[in-house]
Structure 1
Amino acid sequence: EIDVCSNQDVANSTIAGLAEVVHKVMMANVAGVAMARTIAEAMQAVEAPIITIHATAEACGVRNGYDYVETLGVDRWLSLIAAYDKQKATCLVVNAGTAITIDALSVPKNSGHANFMGGLIVPGLTLMLNALANNTAQLSMAEGHVLSFPTNTQDAMHSGCLGAAIGAIQRQWQLLQTLDNQAPAIMLSGGDAAIIAKNLPEDLQPYAIIVDNLVLRGLMLMERELA
């Protein structure tokens, strides 16, 4: 079972209530050393060992094709692991949060493993909008709509940022399709997964799959492998 605590206060109260039953803590952190320290302090009440997960050369049937495997963000790595476990076929793994990562997972037929081929990191939708609003004199963060041919500034900003993200996804999908000679699924997770999936081109819509908490699913699979 996977659940998410919506804020730190809820997390702390939840942790306190689990002190008697938690035997192991799995940590995946991309927020820096200070956050890792905060998490460790919050977990002191549990008195269980903390196992920090990092990207490795191979785990759970996924082979890491990054030039320097340890520099791959653990969130991306866990998402790839979860995607392979769920799909068992070539797919594009898209995490749409502060940044949008678009990672290619190639699964050769009858191979029993997946290959992470590499991927893109682009600014998330809010980050793109903030960049426009904060670095130009005439643009603001006002609400806008997604349209094919916007006729006002707010709609143009929102449509442009979403279009940029979708364009990157579409290009990587085409490249992965050519590489593996098959139409890959597009597995989306993160806060902006729904709006991206809704606005994908019609020919890509059938391949879109939204999976909540993809990173946590990968963390659960890592715990099972290390048990």
Structure 2
Amino acid sequence: MSGTDALEVVLATHNAHKVAEFQRILGERMPQLRVLAYDGPEPVEDGTSFAANALIKARAAAEHTGRIALADDSGIAVDVMGGSPGIFSARWAGHGAGDEANRTLLLAQLADVRRPNRAASFHCTIALVVPAALADTGEPVEIVVDGTWPGQVAYEPRGSHGFGYDPVFEPEGHEITAAELLPEQKNAISHRARAFEALIPELERVAATLR
């Protein structure tokens, strides 16, 4: 494809806000990129890692739409808990539990753990899948990139920005939580921002090799 051709990718989510976020961040670097919403069935995320679950979603979206597909999977990993909640971050307090319940349970589990043993990190994995019909080799292309944001778990929630575990996560080098950072500050240094930085060169290489 030429530099002026539009590159359309489908994002494996039914969340319109996430589609807009991907479009905004990726579009700043790749003006020809158009991120499309996914309208197909949601696959069962039964992988045992962020990468496995991201690939499950991206493969399903690519197969359903015949388009290049993106999917992400993210969560928080606490060192002293062996990397948990990890892939179970969104449902740590049970299926249907909200952010507050997940945070409350995590803080209760760490109640007797003092610094410096509260180290944790946010992880974001993005999978990119190019269907065989679009790849120059005639074979499917699968690429996985990661972004990690180190820090520690706070003793109590603080801040009104962000979502999920942001109010209880203190990024490395900061004495405030991710929820106390302004959105533009967080978006510039977060695990998702770091994953995007790794993704953009891969997208550019894919765009240059499409049939």
**Higher-helix-fraction structure:** 1
Max radius of gyration: which structure?
A: 1
Whether the TM-score (by the shorter chain) exceeds 0.5 is no
The TM-score normalised by the length of structure 1 is 0.34
The TM-score normalised by the length of structure 2 is 0.36
